Amino acid sequence: MSVIDVIRAKRDGGRLTDEQIDWVIRAYTAGVVADEQMSALAMAILLNGMDRREINRWTDAMIGTGIRMDFSGLRRPTADKHSTGGVGDKITLPLAPLVAACGAAVPQLSGRGLGHTGGTLDKLESIPGWRARLSPDEMLRVLREVGAVICAAGDELAPADRKLYALRDVTGTVESIPLIASSIMSKKIAEGTGALVLDVKVGSGAFMKDRAQARQLASTMVALGTDHGVRTVALLTDMQVPLGLTAGNALEVREAVEVLAGAGPSDVVELTIALAREMLAAAGIDGVDPAAKLADGSAMDVWRRMIRAQGGDPDAELPRARERHVLAAPASGTLTRLDALAVGIAAWRLGAGRTRKEDAVQPGAGVELHAKPGDTVTAGAPLLTLHTDTPERFEAALDDLAGAVTIGTGTVGTDGSAEGGEEFTRRALILERVSA
């Protein structure tokens, strides 16, 4: 088979055959198809799209390059969650132990941050001793003993995706919805979970800025999961404003532990419980209230066992940055806007994120929020605190935050919309639910 014929077929708006898709994925993974050839095909897919049959076959082909995990021997139903990434998105940390405390097994394969979005593994690695890399046997052991595991995907899980993702990242084809959906779902389906809940972020701090595009991505992924026998549902959630009051690795772990202790920011608690309810329903578990499991300490117990099972010390002191800089409110009034993207980029500049996958992160770096949109602020009072080990980073982070904040003079409303006017309206956190 000729890769040129495959490229031309999609370039000219045609549908790729099953044989073409199977061959090109196998050949690219084996190094027979060159990077520049796959780049041309990825661009053709970005421009001309794929239909449902093509996306399904593309996903199958990527799964077929590696192993498929099997959790059928567990005594609990399995449920997993995937977020498309945002700023301050520490939801996986309290969510996995909470759902396990409610009776499901949670095999959570997570990733690292790149750019302004944080990575779950980077957050957890701020806990002394905690290990992200587990063998399939170790992962299964932790699931049996604890009920939840959060770890890195092994090299043997959909290796075609790892190679293709790196290529898309440098060729301007990351935005292709068929390629995004197959990238996410190939790993989740190969992981072997029985149920999957997708948290598709929408807004300035998300990958998807536009709600219609986010809905299209969610629908594509739900269809992929359904077609592969995985009970799948998606929530579209707001990412105009950072989640919680922190963006940064150790900072977010502290906040997640606060949620597990029955406190924490209301938006983090709300989304954690909402996603837990969706996961439990998809897993077929009825009659368990996740809010009660947060309140009675059950989820915290699972968290502590999970951290210990992966070599971590849940009682250890978390890293703190050596330097801080307080950004004061420039005026008094109602905080009407706090741009998530600006906060995420600032946290990245301070050392919480990386530019390349091989870069190290500062565990204590990040941004701490002292107010959220809708709160009343006083001129000169702390608005944001910047944390880093390297104070020369403050200047660039402050430049990123210039214009990120709007303070109005009105009251807080309950519906409608406003942007610094006489009335501010809190945006809904959960925007939409997408199911098969």
The interaxial angle of helices 136-145 and 298-309, nearest 10 deg, is 150
Name the token pair of 182: 């197959």
Q: Please say if 325 is a catalytic residue.
A: no
List the catalytic residue out of 10, 57, 187, 277: 187
Q: Give CA–CA dist 299/104, Å, rounded.
A: 12
Cα 205 to Cα 16, 289, 344: the distances in Å are 34, 31, 7
Among residues 81, 82, 231, 305, the one annotated as catalytic is: 82
CB 192 within 8 A of CB 78: yes
What b/e readout covers 316-346, taking b as 16+ CB neighbours within 10 angstroms?
eeebebebebebebeeebbbbbbbbbbbbbb
Catalytic residue among 110, 176, 183, 204: 183
Could you give the CA distance from residue 116 to residue 359 in angstroms, rounded to a whole number? 14
Residue 161 annotated to the active site? yes
Distance CA 171, CA 164 (A): 11
82 tagged catalytic:
yes
Does residue 183 carry a catalytic annotation? yes
- Which 3 state secondary structure label does DSSP give 99? helix
Helix (H) or strand (E) holding 315: none
With contact defined as beta carbons under 8 Å apart, do 255 and 90 qualify?
Answer: yes
Q: What angle do CA 397, 399, 402 make, to 5 degrees?
A: 115
What's the CA dihedral at 211, 213, 219, 220 to 10 degrees? Answer: -160
Cα 396 from Cα 45, distance rounded (Å): 37
Q: Beta strands 323-328 and 382-388: pairing type?
A: antiparallel
Catalytic position from the list 60, 161, 199, 400: 161
**Contact residues for 111 (Cβ-Cβ < 8 A; gap 6+):** 119, 120, 121, 152, 153
At which residue do the structure tokens 């170790």 appear? 138
Pick the catalytic residue from 10, 81, 123, 168: 168
The three-state secondary structure class of 178 is: helix
User: Considering only CA atoms, which of 228, 316, 276 is closest in space to residue 79?
Assistant: 276
Active site residues: 82, 161, 168, 183, 187
